[in-house]
Amino acid sequence: MPANRFNGFTEYGVGIGLRIPHYRHILEQKPVVDWFEIISENYMIDGGRPLAILDQILEQYRVVQHGVSMYFGSAQPLNPEHLKRLKTLVKRTNTPWLTDHLCWGSVDGRYTHDLLPIPYTWEAVDTTAEKIRQVRDFVEVPIAVENVSSYAEFHDSVMTEWEFLNEVVERADCGILLDVNNIYVSSVNHDFDPHVYVDSVPAERVAQIHIAGHSRYEKYVLDTHDHPVIDPVWALYEHAIERIGPTATLLEWDDKIPSFEEVHREALKANKYLDKVRLAQTPQRPAGELTEVRA
């Protein structure tokens, strides 16, 4: 797995999201899992069962924090209470890197609890990059930003989503959590070629990859995280890791959550593609070359 400064120079394999219905199975059966991703906000609390469970998980597994409401793209300042609680959690988990979305979701102190798309403007590039830097400087861990699924495009936008992503991460000097399912969903909703998106991303900045399932409606695709990953998304994933290299990969399954085994089995399908890329990257010895034998 390519270790880089945006994932704390780690080489994590294939992980899954830590979800409540699986707590008991994980703690009792102790399955072998490369790593778990937690939703930061679920543990930014003062006490109780969620933190006790998290501490037990941390004793045995590697954990990476993933946030859903930092809202880097919001036009207004960051929430200091949110930042303070996030830093407390970072100290608890020792997450090697921290991720959240390239989106906005609150204004004037009111929260939508959604991942709303940002207009791709230069003002938004500056605002978003500045916020990412502020968070990174405060929590003192590398940050990777995730591209979101979207259902709307703005008249104000002056660049493509991938151009916007590239501008933001360059200016913020941060990593990318490349969600290939989100790229697929948005490509259907906005009629672009998802391969162009993947090919435009600076490979050296990709810290992690997300895969997930979604729901297709008559006129659009919704990012629901309630199904297995579909073949076109696996194909896009394969294309991404061929270009980027084998990267820490995580399956998101947040609704209609099946058994732990089913979720884990679905995630481990990623190894088929990762192994293929690893093999292709292994230097091949010319036929007939002899191995030196030392006595």
Partner 1 sequence: MTPLLDLQRRMASAVMQPLAQSDQMRRRNPQRRSNAKEAAEFIKPNSRLTSFERLEIYNRQYWFRILDSFAEDFPGLRAVVGRKRFDRIARAYLTECPSQSFTLRNLGQFLPQWLADHNDLAGDRYSLAADMLKLEWAHIEAFDAADLPRLTPEALMTLGEDPQLLLQPHISLHELHYAVDDLLLAVRKHDEEQEETGAARAFPIRRWLKNSPEPIYLAVHRADYSVCYRRLERESYLLLTTLRERKPLSEALETAFAQSPLSEEDQAMHIQEWFAAWMALGWFAVPFRSHGENE
Rule CB under 8 A: is residue 99 a binding residue for partner 1? no
Q: Which is nearer to partner 1, 191 or 193 (CB)?
A: 191
* Residues that contact partner 1, how many (by CB under 8 A): 45
At 65, list the tokens.
């924090």
Q: Tell how strand 110-116 and strand 104-107 pair up.
A: antiparallel
Q: How far is the CB of 168 from partner 1 (least distance, A)?
A: 13
126 phi-psi bin (left φ>0, alpha ψ -120 to 50, beta other):
alpha
Q: How far is the CB of 255 from partner 1 (least distance, A)?
A: 10
Q: Where are the beta strands (DSSP E) in 18-109?
A: 36-39, 63-66, 98-101, 104-107
Rule CB under 8 A: is residue 191 a binding residue for partner 1? yes
Rule CB under 8 A: is residue 9 a binding residue for partner 1? no
How far is it, in rounded angstroms, from Cα 150 to Cα 148?
6
Rule CB under 8 A: is residue 294 a binding residue for partner 1? no
Rule CB under 8 A: is residue 106 a binding residue for partner 1? yes
Query: In this chain, which of 55, 107, 196, 262 binds partner 1, going by CB under 8 A?
Result: 107
Q: How far is CA 182 from CA 57, 99, 150, 212, 245, in A?
A: 28, 15, 8, 8, 19
How far is it, in rounded angstroms, from Cα 75 to Cα 181?
27
Site for partner 1 in 264-293 (CB under 8 A): none
Q: Which is nearer to partner 1, 155 or 285 (CB)?
A: 155
Is 38:93 a contact under the CB 8 Å cutoff?
yes
Which residue ranges make up the site for partner 1 (CB under 8 A)?
Answer: 41, 44-52, 69, 74-76, 79, 81-82, 104, 106-114, 116, 119, 121, 123-124, 127, 151-156, 189-191, 219-220, 222
